[in-house]
């Protein structure tokens, strides 16, 4: 489309249920954040990681990707804080957002989703098993004013922001993306189970 696409890996969560920073957990020998980077790198001109101060140094010791932090006054308010920080600090027209805790989201899934980007929409969001997946989605820079308004209202809910602009929701029968791409790993029990399945595969 002739417009810059930036890849944004959201890695700023506290990982409370997981018990350790999820971004650095490994699946198939690679850290979660690297799986996200591998999914985005064939299509993006730039990849950046949004994290919090406690992890910034560790990221910088492991990767050359730029690491940015949430910006005040909206720091540590969830995924919207990270998206806001990325849009404010990275000059692009489109932002491909991927949460770091979906290690099965790959370049095949990313390419299939990008196919649905157009000038008629400000966001492309996949849907799997009847649920929208806004943390593996593409958003245009034009959504930033809506994001500012959303944050300044004191509401940090993703769905309220998404309702403010024109979104194309792409179901799995249209995208061809397998539901496993959106497997979210929130706790050690899920992580160990999936690792066991992978090891046996």
Q: What is the CATH number of the domain that holds 180?
A: 3.90.550.10
38 vs 75, which has greater pLDDT?
A: 38
**Number of Cβ within a 10 Å radius of residue 176:** 12
Q: What is the predicted pLDDT for the residue at 196?
A: 64
User: What is the overall mean pLDDT for the chain?
Assistant: 90
- Distance, in Å, from the CA atom of 85 to the CA atom of 50, rounded to the nearest integer, reads 8
77 vs 199, which has greater pLDDT?
A: 77
- How far apart, in Å, are the Cα atoms of 143 and each of 85, 98, 163? 13, 17, 11
- Find the mean pLDDT for residues 114-124: 96
Number of domains in the chain: 1
Residues in binding site for GTP: 10-12, 22, 70, 101
pLDDT greater than 60 at residue 201: no
104 vs 199, which has greater pLDDT?
A: 104
Residues in binding site: 10-12, 22, 70, 101
- Distance, in Å, from the CA atom of 13 to the CA atom of 115, rounded to the nearest integer, reads 29
Residues in binding site for Mg(2+): 101
SS (H, E, C) the chain: CCCCEEEEEECCCCCCCCCCCHHHCEECCEEHHHHHHHHHCCCCCEEEEEECHHHHHHHHHHCCCCEEECCCCCCCCCHHHHHHHHHHHCCCCEEEEEECCCCCCCHHHHHHHHCCCCCCCCEEEEEECCEECCCEEEEEHHHHHHHHHHHHCCCCCHHHHHCCCCEEEEEHHHHCCCHHHHCCCCCHHHHHHHHHHHHHC
- Find the mean pLDDT for residues 148-165: 93
Q: pTM for the full model? A: 0.92
Domain of 22?
A: 5-200
pLDDT band (50, 70, 90) for residue 109 = very high
Q: What is the pLDDT of residues 132-152, one digit of tens each?
A: 999 999 999 999 999 999 999
Q: What is the predicted pLDDT for the residue at 200?
A: 55
């Amino acid at each position: 489309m002739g417009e810059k696409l930036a890849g944004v890996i959201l890695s700023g969560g506290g990982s409370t249920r997981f018990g350790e920073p999820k971004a650095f957990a490994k699946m198939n020998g690679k850290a979660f954040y690297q799986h996200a980077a591998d999914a985005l790198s064939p299509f993006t001109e730039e990849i950046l990681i949004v994290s919090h101060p406690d992890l910034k140094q560790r990221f910088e010791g492991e990767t050359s990707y730029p690491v940015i932090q949430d910006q005040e006054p909206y720091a540590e308010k969830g995924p919207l804080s990270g998206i806001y920080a990325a849009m404010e600090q990275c000059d692009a027209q489109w932002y491909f957002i991927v949460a770091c805790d979906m290690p099965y989201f790959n370049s095949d899934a990313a390419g299939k989703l990008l196919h649905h980007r157009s000038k008629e929409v400000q966001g492309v969001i996949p849907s799997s098993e009847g649920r929208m997946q806004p943390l593996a989605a593409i958003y245009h820079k034009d959504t930033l004013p809506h994001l500012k308004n959303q944050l300044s209202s004191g509401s940090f809910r993703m769905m309220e922001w998404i309702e403010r602009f024109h979104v194309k929701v792409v179901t799995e029968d249209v995208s061809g993306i397998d539901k496993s791409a959106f497997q979210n790993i929130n706790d050690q029990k899920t992580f160990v189970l999936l690792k066991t399945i992978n090891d046996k595969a």
